[in-house]
């Protein structure tokens, strides 16, 4: 995506609570959309197009989620609405489609909604559904669940560099502590590093060496935002603009990649730095895709916060902690905020926007000038990186 992405701004957001919720998919979509329209102070009639991020893969019977958004407001009737799917990055895919719609001149104001209803299925059923985002034409890969994929990554990390389990426990504990300040988070429960490091009845092994605390949550939830041109947004008190929006897709078969190099994430993030004209040292914070704690550790290295195999130093130095130079996942991340798949990428952008516009409540940093968002679909296959700044 070209550097003219700086012509795109966020002017309103919505975000439901994440968790095991009574609401159905339609309820979640419409709740987040109504909040975003209200915050943007726009009537539904002013929206030119809608893009919905939704994975599904059999999680719910609603196979036409894009048209559920029209239930938000009668003013959306007859507005074009399209569903985007790119595994766990479906929300970011919807955002990119919205950006292109505005840049092309086909739309001026666009509503984006990301949503997922996961808890209506059992944990084994959810695991099976998510596995559909893996490569199905290789029996060995098709037999792997995503916990199994990232367990192999942790084992490979230990073999090539060092045992990552201590760092992974620190990441889990950090993100749980951060979630305590996020009223929308699914799991607002503090866990010590020792809690996360120790295998117990409450923290069993899921896919050795991954423990339960190394895994993100099965969640329901939705998030929404309203995008417009930066020229239009300039008249508003609260707005944040894109400095970069990058998508990099890699091979789906893991057999064709060295997973530990995290090449797709690294390319997306560093291309975003280049588009924004910044380095990792300029960032005020980052929201990154910690579907499993080993993924966050690898992302530190992809971001340039530490050399390959030394991601733990970003933790031991305090850099990624709240109060550090580059706090990561102030929201609690997927680990503690929750991971309703289609909502995740939109949620990251919503909470970054609120941080940059001084609306993050207890999560608010004293100074927030630049935020990185990294959202990943599959095992580092669909990689989206954005940089946002206040107007």
Does a cis peptide bond (omega within 30 degrees of 0) precede residue 209?
yes
Contact call for residues 5 and 373 (beta carbons, < 8 A): no
Reported in sequence order, the residue ranges of the chain that DSSP labels E, i.e. its strands, are: 8-15, 49-53, 81-84, 110-116, 205-207, 210-211, 221-229, 240-249, 285-288, 371-377, 382-390
Task: Say whether 88 is catalytic.
Answer: yes
The active-site residue out of 88, 196, 215, 291 is: 88
Residue written as token pair 């939830």: 221
Residues 91 and 55 sit within 8 Å (Cβ to Cβ): no
Report yes or no: 255 and 295 within 8 Å, Cβ to Cβ: no
Return the structure tokens found at 376.
């990943």
Q: Write the DSSP assignment of 212-238 as a string of letters.
A: GGGBPPP-BEEEEEEEEEHHHHTTSSS
Beta strand pairing status for 8-15 and 285-288? unpaired
| Set 15, 54, 176, 339: catalytic member | 339
Task: Classify residue 235 as exposed, middle or buried by CB count within 10 Å of its CB (0-12, 13-18, 19+).
Answer: exposed
- Buried residues in 110-144 as b, exposed as e (16+ CB within 10 A): bbbbbbbbbbebeeeebbebbbebbbeeeeebeeb
Provide φ and ψ at 17, rounded to 5°: -65, 150
Closest CA to 298 of 250, 257, 261: 261
Which of 22, 21, 51 lies closest to 36 in space, CA to CA? Answer: 51
**Backbone CA torsion sign across 389, 40, 175, 89:** negative
For 264, the enclosing helix (H) or strand (E) is helix 263-276
- Exposed, middle or buried: residue 23 (CB in 10 Å: 0-12, 13-18, 19+)? middle
By annotation, the residues acting in catalysis are: 88, 339
């Amino acid at each position: 995506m070209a550097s003219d992405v700086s012509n795109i701004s966020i002017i309103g957001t919505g975000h439901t609570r994440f968790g095991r919720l009574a609401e159905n998919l339609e309820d979640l979509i419409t709740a987040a959309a109504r909040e975003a329209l209200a915050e943007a102070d726009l009537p539904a009639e002013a929206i030119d197009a809608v893009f919905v991020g939704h994975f599904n893969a059999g999680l719910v019977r609603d196979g036409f989620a894009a048209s559920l958004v029209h239930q938000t407001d009668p003013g959306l009737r007859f507005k074009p609405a399209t569903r985007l799917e790119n595994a766990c990055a479906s929300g970011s895919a919807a955002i990119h489609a919205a950006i292109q719609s505005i840049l092309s001149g086909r739309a001026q104001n666009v509503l984006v909604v990301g949503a997922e209803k996961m808890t209506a299925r059992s944990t084994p059923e959810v695991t099976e559904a998510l596995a559909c985002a893996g490569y199905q034409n290789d029996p060995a890969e098709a037999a792997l669940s995503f916990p199994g994929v990232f367990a192999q990554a942790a084992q490979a990390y230990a073999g090539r560099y060092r045992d990552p389990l201590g760092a992974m426990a620190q990441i889990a504990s950090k993100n749980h502590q951060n979630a305590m300040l996020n009223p929308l988070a699914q799991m607002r429960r503090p866990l010590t590093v020792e809690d996360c490091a120790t295998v117990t009845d409450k923290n069993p092994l899921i896919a050795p060496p991954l423990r339960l605390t190394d895994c993100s949550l099965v969640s329901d939830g939705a998030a929404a935002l309203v995008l417009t041109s930066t020229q239009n947004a300039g008249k508003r008190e609260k707005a944040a603009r894109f400095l970069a929006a990058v998508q990099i897709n890699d091979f789906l078969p893991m057999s064709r990649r060295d997973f530990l190099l995290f090449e797709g994430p690294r390319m997306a993030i560093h291309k975003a730095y280049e588009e924004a004209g910044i380095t990792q040292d300029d960032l005020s914070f980052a929201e990154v895709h910690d579907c499993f704690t080993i993924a966050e550790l690898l992302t530190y290295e992809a971001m340039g916060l530490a050399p390959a195999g030394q991601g733990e130093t970003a933790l031991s130095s305090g850099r990624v902690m709240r109060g550090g130079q580059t706090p990561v996942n102030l929201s609690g991340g997927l680990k503690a905020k929750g991971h309703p798949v289609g909502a995740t990428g939109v949620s990251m952008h919503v909470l970054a926007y609120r941080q940059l516009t001084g609306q993050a409540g207890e999560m608010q940093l004293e100074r927030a000038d630049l935020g990185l968002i990294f959202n990943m679909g599959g095992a580092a296959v669909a990689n989206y990186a954005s940089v946002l700044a206040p107007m």
